Amino acid sequence: MTKRAAFGTVDRLPSGRYRARYVGPDGRRRSKVFGTAKADAWAWLATAQADLVRKAWRAPEFGQRTVGAFAADYLVRDELRESTRSLYAGLWRLHLAPQWEDVPVGEVTPAKVRTWHTAATRRTGPTALAQAYRLLRSILGVAVADEVIAANPCRLRGASTPKATRPSRALTVAEAQTLADHLRRDRRTERYRALVLVLAFGGLRFGEATALRRSDVVDGDKLHVHRSVRYVGGRWLVGDPKTEAGRRTVSLPASVASALATHLERFVSDSPDALVFGTGAGTFLHSANFGQTFRRAVEAVGLPPVRPHELRHTGATLAAATGATTKELMRRLGHSSSAAALMYQHAADERDSEIARALDAMIGAASVVPSSE
């Protein structure tokens, strides 16, 4: 016996299971078979009717296209840089495909994303996991834009930002100089002294600094940044900086420019295309190799653990401490949004009380009246 309602029908099959049916706005009949609980069939109809009212209805068969199919289309998009495409392909293959390759996008729910993310946390590093989550969110975002699914199921708060093992810290001027001087005292590492100073006081990204050519050094104290390099998939990829704002000219402090001049004279050939911060053989410097040298120097001078990327963090914080505006920081660091620049300004603001105390000490010292004899 079939019971007709205002929207759709529910009937009982000879097997004892219930079938719900309705005609969609495209004129096609949709149906789904449930177990022996009639309420499940009615709930499915009610959901479909609510989607129609909210104008959120999607043809169920559209959602049968798999996440893997959407990923394949996403990874060949023209706007992806070659290095980005290679990174995404690796993230998909290693961290996403095993779970999501054959799953229809219509069956991806926030709960399933949360379960995957929780399990992945136990076997994946924080940076790779955050990158993989962002990629999954972007892939499913295409399904939303194509109106295949109504909303993106990637809704985990904070999942797109890697959980660092410790907060980044900026080196002091003295610490940065101590590291650079330590590298200078060893003939095996002296070629890295100028790189440390440029990263710490110029705020360049490592890939930007190691892509610099001799012709990019202008007037001795300016660096023309217009490319970046990274090692991906067993080969070096040279391309544009991370953001459009990354194309910029960075001025160096006089002392850093002097160190750079010495570096160019001793370690870089006269060719305009010679790498400024390459290896002894004139090839690109790998971040892993530099990282090992850098960590050994940190340990040797007795500093707390410092990551190479914190040299850029240092350059940004020191620039903010000079009183640079948000716009000036964005330009110097190659940021396309103000969020990061504001973070460094906040770090500088926190030193305001220390500055005030130092000024107070200076005032107190000047106010002491010598006793008369």
- CA 51 – CA 190 distance, rounded (Å): 67
Q: Which residues are catalytic?
A: 205, 309, 312, 335, 344
Say which residues have a Cβ less than 8 Å from residue 311's Cβ, sequence separation at least 6.
171, 176, 196, 199, 200
Say which residues have a Cβ less than 8 Å from residue 93's Cβ, sequence separation at least 6.
none
Residue 214 in tokens = 């001799």
- CA 270 – CA 205 distance, rounded (Å): 24
The conformation of residue 136, written as its DSSP 8-state character, comes to H
DSSP alpha helix (H) spans, the chain: 38-53, 67-74, 82-91, 97-100, 110-121, 126-145, 173-184, 193-202, 206-209, 254-267, 287-300, 310-321, 326-333, 338-349, 352-367
- CA 193 – CA 200 distance, rounded (Å): 11
Residue 46 in tokens = 């009610």
CB burial class (10 A; 0-12, 13-18, 19+) of residue 203?
buried
Helix (H) or strand (E) segment spanning residue 331: helix 326-333
CA distances from 263 to 123, 214, 284 (A): 42, 11, 16
- CA 365 – CA 353 distance, rounded (Å): 18
